[in-house]
Structure 1
């Protein structure tokens, strides 16, 4: 299997940024939603959505895309045969699959996981971007499961935009057989972007720190350049050395800027409206 080389995982980034801005939160949410919809459309559920299995691209426009990784626990929820695609019937009792912290409440009951369970994991990831999860200080699989059932959505989403409550309300109407309304979920997340004038091209929180580092490098190079100029006025210096110094400065800044991302390059409503499986 050949995989694209990606950048840092969200788990690594969240250690540096335990509290993210709403702008970063909702845009990451749209990215995860898009990835999960694509996976669901080809007939699979992930069953282990968590920050460690989500990563940004390495360079260029890809740094604005969140990629889903690690399909080791994925399961096909459709049956294909005789040219038809049918929903696979759920098992009545299953083994626990997933990560206790991020799996859905339904997973704790050993019920068959479906598309809504992946989306609940997405919600938990987004909630954690704005603060702690209500069960952070609880130990034990069963105890955490009870906490998930008992936690009100208003408590869960207290640090997040109110639109997240609309999403959790929708997820509560779903079961294994029901197709999530991906378009509606996208609308709710994008609504936050419109109301707050956020753009897909805005830097994520971690990009702003990187931009600050680049600015420091440039200031340092400017200082070096001025120092060299002063030295040249007093000390003979070969043109080759001066040229090498300029090239070094250029190389230090190369790659610091990438192709500008525009909103048209990323997601639109149409990306979330198709239904490839038919159910």
Structure 2
């Protein structure tokens, strides 16, 4: 026995707005009609077709839908033949009220047509949840009456808005007799045509599958940052004399270093001037006598450096 994942009912309820896209709905319809066709091919009818009895596979089989729960399935052919068994006069209600066929409501024998009728209710619900006007009703008579209206062409607005190919499927299912062999290919053709009208891509993944399409590659080129040239400050000589003492007050050691370099490079003077112009702390909280003493000391050091540089 193979393990499977969530049912279509659970998956749909977990979708945004609790609904599938048109493309996914049609793809689900195509796979589920194939599953029903395969069951009919071996001589059985399911009699309880509904979203809860279809589940998706696990992992790499998440795009495969499985038909489950054959607890009330019935063989409709005579043993060892393909001849259809004669219907019984009365039968008990078999199935789920929301998806049960009209014949099931009337306590009549079910056939392949009834599985397809339950299937179309399920499909309509996938296409638009508002299609099933009896969804919240538990009154079997009322539900059957609403289903009769649908097959009489009295469509609710949600169904009327669907492509005409869906209406053709409804009419076709209604035309089938007890022993009729359904044309499953016709149903699938109508589904595909309706998808084309809605521009639905049937090659895309189901809504519940993660999008693994390759994302655009990020550029591997190293980011280049623009180098901003430092602006050169033309410092008049007189400004140096006027401001050097103030600079010394807030950063004496740095001032000495730059002042010493100034004798050999004018770039140092620019740095010294920038250092002064960007400082917000020129007093350093020192008393005037302390500042005067430091200024004299620094001036002497600068003079000494200048004298040595000129030798």
TM-score by length of 1: 0.69
Are residues 1:149 and 2:148 paired? yes
- SS of the equivalent of 2:175 reads coil
Partner in structure 2 of residue 73 of structure 1: 72
- SS of the equivalent of 1:55 reads strand
Unpaired stretches in structure 2, ≥5 consecutive residues: 216-311
Once residues 141 and 69 of structure 1 are traced to their aligned partners in structure 2, the CA distance between those partners, rounded to angstroms, is: 25
Following superposition of structure 1 onto structure 2, how do residues 183-262 of structure 1 map, counting pairs within 5 Å?
183-196=185-198, 198-207=200-209, 210-211=210-211
Partner in structure 1 of residue 83 of structure 2: 86
Mean CA deviation greater in 146-155 or 66-75: 146-155
TM-score by length of 2: 0.62
Give the CA deviation at 1:11: 1.0
Partner in structure 2 of residue 261 of structure 1: none
CA distance 1:204–1:149, shift in 2 (3 Å): same
- SS of the equivalent of 2:47 reads coil
Are residues 1:165 and 2:162 paired? no
Partner in structure 1 of residue 242 of structure 2: none
Once residues 162 and 34 of structure 1 are traced to their aligned partners in structure 2, the CA distance between those partners, rounded to angstroms, is: 22
- SS of the equivalent of 2:55 reads strand
Superposed CA deviations along residues 225-258 of structure 1, whole A, max 9, x for unmatched, are xxxxxxxxxxxxxxxxxxxxxxxxxxxxxxxxxx
Partner in structure 1 of residue 176 of structure 2: 174
Contact 2:166 2:194 in 1 (8 A): no
Give the CA deviation at 1:76: 0.2
Partner in structure 2 of residue 136 of structure 1: 135
Unpaired stretches in structure 1, ≥5 consecutive residues: 216-279
Once residues 188 and 136 of structure 1 are traced to their aligned partners in structure 2, the CA distance between those partners, rounded to angstroms, is: 25
Q: Which has the higher contact order (CA 8 A, sep 6+)?
A: 1
Once residues 178 and 34 of structure 1 are traced to their aligned partners in structure 2, the CA distance between those partners, rounded to angstroms, is: 17
Give the CA deviation at 1:204: 1.5
Partner in structure 1 of residue 40 of structure 2: 40
- SS of the equivalent of 1:47 reads coil
Contact 1:127 1:159 in 2 (8 A): no
- RMSD of aligned Cα (Å): 2.1
Are residues 1:63 and 2:65 paired? no
Contact 1:22 1:160 in 2 (8 A): no
Counting matched residue pairs gives 207
Give the CA deviation at 1:175: 1.7
Is the radius of gyration larger for structure 1 or structure 2?
Answer: 2
Superposed CA deviations along residues 94-140 of structure 1, whole A, max 9, x for unmatched, are 01100001111221001111111111111111111112311123231
Once residues 188 and 55 of structure 2 are traced to their aligned partners in structure 1, the CA distance between those partners, rounded to angstroms, is: 20
Contact 2:53 2:67 in 1 (8 A): yes
CA distance 1:180–1:85, shift in 2 (3 Å): closer
Partner in structure 2 of residue 275 of structure 1: none
Contact 2:22 2:200 in 1 (8 A): no
- SS of the equivalent of 2:176 reads coil
Once residues 134 and 175 of structure 1 are traced to their aligned partners in structure 2, the CA distance between those partners, rounded to angstroms, is: 26
- SS of the equivalent of 1:136 reads coil
Q: 1:14 aligns with which of 9, 12, 32?
A: 12
Give the CA deviation at 1:14: 1.4
Once residues 13 and 122 of structure 1 are traced to their aligned partners in structure 2, the CA distance between those partners, rounded to angstroms, is: 17
Once residues 175 and 157 of structure 1 are traced to their aligned partners in structure 2, the CA distance between those partners, rounded to angstroms, is: 24
